[in-house]
Structure 1
Amino acid sequence: MATAAITTAGVLALGACSSDVEDPEVESTTGGGGATSEPVTLDFAFWGNDVRAEMYTQAIDLFMEQYPHITVNSTFLDYPAFWEKRQTEAAGGGLPDVMQFDYSYLRQYSENGLLLDLGPHLGNEIATDGFTEQILGIGVVGDVTTAIPISTNAWGMYTNPALLESVGAEDFAGGSWDDYKAWVASVTEASGGEIFGGTDYTGRIQNFEVQLRAEGKNLFNEDGTPGFDEARLAEFWESGAEMRGDGATGISQQRLEEIYPVSGFGAALTTSELTWDNFGAGYLGELGESYTELGLVAPPVTVEGTKDLYQKPSMLHAIAATTDNAAESAMLVDFLVNSPEVGAVFGTNRGLPASSAMRDGITFEGLDEQIRAYEESIADRLGDAPPVPLVGYGTLEEKFRVLGTELGFGTVTVDDAVSQFFAEMDVVLNS
């Protein structure tokens, strides 16, 4: 994720809410107590880097202008550390009141009763008229709304045109995964091994999913069964062999560890990165003033003409079932997903806003317009979203990442990695 592993505990007095509840003294009939003018403290947690943290600070400052009686303790971590902390808190019953949430964990936390039923708040503290039914349905698990989508995004590939020009290489012109690997090697060769064309793409489970979707399969089916076998996973991991290890055409795992938490792309050591399209602002923040423009193109093609890509909620907001301040928490959620002013602050940093009200606050230009245009350009590759991730998907996604790192270091073989992943999957699927 190339995000800073820092916890910032900023106790901020908050105000302003775009919800249907305009008077803070109006009583709500929702769980956890109605909204009043009495002092209230909320804990809010999100994952991200310093760029996103500054945006949330601005959003919180705007909220403060109308509701100074609500205080929010805001903390952030990088993505893996964020979920490690949430799992610890969940076990002890101490989840934050409001959380930026990931689709990968939605079923797990919802089915375990850890998230508040937002149904009573919809149309009350949380305005819904800016959302389509399809978008609101993303946050529904078992007929219960437990999260509100902030935005949507799609899988893509960022490139660095200025860095490519500096080494005398052309931008990726599209093509197959083999074409992509050949392009990565050509960039690395052109730079004399100082700059790399990319990173071993087989370390990301999303690239595996894109290939499976092109073959008419899901990563995981609605019944929780995997859409692949050991041979197919081995084939995928083996396909990245030339990008890692001795004489690798991609950046080495050791070099990535040296610059962590910044990514190879964010450190201007690689010229491409396969990732979600809303990561651009973070990359520009890491790259600094030397690089002001990014390229954004579609991922390599596995099978021509297939619907291998999809739009997913880049993130959502959820409320802990244990909150003592459900109404105020819902007000904060409403503000963070609906406010045009927050839209102006974030742009597309969290993806294309799901709420039309928030989109109204954005002047689409620069990177924001680039992301909007990108999602239009891949319309013919966009298919139906996969089933809501199974319980434990986040654990499997992290295991996949860790095994990809170990493959990069050469501490496991492909066969060992496949065995370990299937063993982990067996535990998750049968627990």
Structure 2
Amino acid sequence: MTTRVRRRVRAAGAAVGAGLLLASCGIGEGFVGTPELSDGEVTITFNWWGADARTQLTLQAIELFEEEYPNITVDAQYADWNGYWDRLAITAAAGEMPDVSQFDQLYLASYAERGALLELSRVSEFLDTSALGAEILDSGRADGSLYAVPTGGTANGIIINTTLFDEYGVALPDTESWTWEEFQRVSVELTEASGGEVHGVTPFGADSFSLTVWARQHGGELFDASGDVALDPEILAGYWQRELDLIESGAAPSAGQLSEMHGLPLDQSSVVTGRAAMAFIPAGQFSAYQSAGPDFDYAIADWPTDADTSPGFQYLKPTMYWAASSTTQHPAEAALLIDFLTNDTRVGRLFGVDRGEPGNPAFQEAIAPDLDESGQEALAFTNLIAEEIDDTPPITPPGASDIENLLNRYNQQVLFGESSPDDAARGFINELGDSIRAAS
């Protein structure tokens, strides 16, 4: 390990939320004029979240970058998910945000619209994004400007434990054209065939990715281009009613069982432990599920549809991004690092699918020979979906970063009969809209 890569793990002791802290800070540009590469020694900071395996891969990528650009030293900083965002908010508020950071779409617009992120057209001389298709790259835009480069995108699919279907003698319909009626029918058949030992499906209900796909199936979107809530309450009510229908038919576990499952790590999820035969997942996690459940064989399929389902309802959700700070004193060098992470195929081979299916086709080609069967299947599924998708949906606006917790709270009310799907839908949309307006 090169001695020039200094690794610093800082504990996140912030009690204040990222959004509140960021909202109160005034952030200005860190440079004026045209960015230029320095002839002298330069140190830039690079910040990411993830487990140790990701950290080790990223440190290796930093070594490659420093070999390519000997005058640039990369100061590596990393943390777990929760500590990461607390710390990033503090450094942004103090005007000391790392030069390059890994980002998530939940927070991208919040940081971009408050001036914390570098508008990347200013450094286009050093950053080439031409390898990324518009369906991926557009997810890094806020208010029409590019603030982040996606590492890749993933579709939302249904993971199917085919071992369980074979074990209980339940035949799957054609998953390339199945309907919601067929989906529910085979889910019930599986539950009944197993005597209730296994449920056919763990339903959606509390994550914004699946809600967005559901909304697009019904001709809607979660947000509009202005950052306002665009979701029709009837669409959201239908989403929760579908969940209730699956539970009441026996296709899915009870409300109490689902509540106990919420928030469990992947290796304890029902589809890995064999308590459910299907679940809605980001396709990028398919290999992780297969690795966690080696005693089972899995497949991945597109969502069921109905006769009136809107075409192009799927989309590629950005797995994560690279972004630069607006206060960086070294914008050219920061852009070079993002370019390297985006385009150098050595990085692609190092990272594999750790940050999702790569958006750069050259990365996909580079990693293909080393992918196991499940990795190949996940990549093929995402590429197939990419041929059918419609426009990229607007990203999460400022004030809506807590949408997952909000959605789960209202979902729990629906599950336990404390609120009807219609009432919960109106309450969720009103509360989410209030939060967005308060942040503007």
Q: TM-score range by the shorter chain?
A: 0.7 to 0.9
Which of 271, 292, 295 is the equivalent residue of 1:290?
295
Which of 308, 330, 355 is the equivalent residue of 2:313?
308
1:324 to partner: Cα distance: 4.1
Q: For 1:78-107, what per-residue CA distance to the aligned partner results, in whole angstroms no more than 9, with x for missing partners?
A: 4x7755654565455454432222334333
Equivalent residue for 1:16?
Answer: none
Which of 400, 404, 413 is the equivalent residue of 2:411?
404
Distance in 2 of aligned mates of 1:370 and 1:246:
31
Equivalent residue for 1:363?
Answer: 368
Distance in 2 of aligned mates of 1:361 and 1:87:
36
Which 4+ stretches in 1 moved above 6 angstroms?
A: 245-248
Contact 1:204/1:400 (<8 A) preserved:
yes
Contact 1:347/1:368 (<8 A) preserved:
no
Distance in 2 of aligned mates of 1:101 and 1:34:
24
Distance in 1 of aligned mates of 2:359 and 2:169:
40
Contact 1:198/1:271 (<8 A) preserved:
yes
Comparing 245-254 with 386-395, which one deviates more in the overlay?
245-254
Which secondary structure does the structure 1 equivalent of 2:368 belong to? coil
Comparing 105-114 with 401-410, which one deviates more in the overlay?
401-410
Corresponding letter in the other structure for 2:393? P
Equivalent residue for 1:38?
Answer: 41
Distance in 1 of aligned mates of 2:330 and 2:412:
41
Task: Give the fraction of aligned pairs with identical amino acids, expressed as a percent.
Answer: 26
Equivalent residue for 2:140?
Answer: 139
Distance in 2 of aligned mates of 1:151 and 1:221:
23
Which secondary structure does the structure 2 equivalent of 1:72 belong to? strand
1:323 aligns with 2:325: no
Q: For 1:154-182, what per-residue CA distance to the aligned partner results, in whole angstroms no more than 9, with x for missing partners?
A: 22222222344345444464323343233
Distance in 2 of aligned mates of 1:384 and 1:156:
18
What is the 5 A alignment of 1:66-85? Answer: 66=68, 70-78=73-81, 83=85
Contact 1:121/1:330 (<8 A) preserved:
yes
1:240 to partner: Cα distance: 0.9
Equivalent residue for 2:28?
Answer: none
1:210 to partner: Cα distance: 2.5
Distance in 2 of aligned mates of 1:104 and 1:401:
16
1:219 aligns with 2:222: yes
1:279 to partner: Cα distance: 1.7
What is the 5 A alignment of 1:32-431? Answer: 34-35=37-38, 38=41, 40=43, 42-46=45-49, 48=50, 52-53=54-55, 55-63=57-65, 65-66=67-68, 70-78=73-81, 83=85, 86-87=88-89, 90-91=92-93, 93-124=95-126, 126-132=127-133, 135-171=136-172, 173-174=174-175, 175-244=178-247, 249-250=252-253, 252-257=257-262, 259-260=264-265, 262=267, 263-287=269-293, 289-291=294-296, 293-302=297-306, 303-304=308-309, 306-363=311-368, 366-378=373-385, 381-405=388-412, 407-408=414-415, 414=421, 417-431=424-438
The 3 A distance-change label for structure 1 pair 422 and 214 is closer
Equivalent residue for 1:25?
Answer: none
Q: For 1:103-135, what per-residue CA distance to the aligned partner results, in whole angstroms no more than 9, with x for missing partners?
A: 3433332111111122232232x2345345665
The 3 A distance-change label for structure 1 pair 350 and 418 is same
TM-score (norm 2): 0.76
Distance in 1 of aligned mates of 2:419 and 2:55:
36
Distance in 2 of aligned mates of 1:306 and 1:299:
12
1:318 to partner: Cα distance: 0.7
The 3 A distance-change label for structure 1 pair 216 and 326 is same
Equivalent residue for 2:21?
Answer: none
Which secondary structure does the structure 1 equivalent of 2:189 belong to? helix
Distance in 2 of aligned mates of 1:257 and 1:133:
34
Contact 1:52/1:282 (<8 A) preserved:
no
Which secondary structure does the structure 1 equivalent of 2:401 belong to? helix
Contact 1:155/1:309 (<8 A) preserved:
yes
Structure 2: segments with no counterpart, 5+ residues:
1-5, 10-31
Distance in 2 of aligned mates of 1:49 and 1:265:
23
Which secondary structure does the structure 2 equivalent of 1:100 belong to? strand
Corresponding letter in the other structure for 1:333? I
Corresponding letter in the other structure for 1:306? P
1:418 to partner: Cα distance: 2.9
Which secondary structure does the structure 2 equivalent of 1:70 belong to? strand
Distance in 2 of aligned mates of 1:277 and 1:180:
18
Distance in 1 of aligned mates of 2:39 and 2:196:
62
Corresponding letter in the other structure for 2:303? P
Distance in 2 of aligned mates of 1:211 and 1:258:
21
Contact 1:282/1:349 (<8 A) preserved:
no
Q: For 1:294-331, what per-residue CA distance to the aligned partner results, in whole angstroms no more than 9, with x for missing partners?
A: 31110121435622112343322111223344344323
The 3 A distance-change label for structure 1 pair 254 and 325 is same
Contact 2:156/2:281 (<8 A) preserved:
yes
Which secondary structure does the structure 2 equivalent of 1:157 belong to? strand
Distance in 2 of aligned mates of 1:129 and 1:380:
18
Which secondary structure does the structure 1 equivalent of 2:319 belong to? strand
Distance in 1 of aligned mates of 2:58 and 2:417:
39
Which secondary structure does the structure 1 equivalent of 2:125 belong to? coil
Distance in 2 of aligned mates of 1:29 and 1:207:
43
Equivalent residue for 2:17?
Answer: none
TM-score (norm 1): 0.77
Which secondary structure does the structure 2 equivalent of 1:331 belong to? helix
1:239 to partner: Cα distance: 2.1
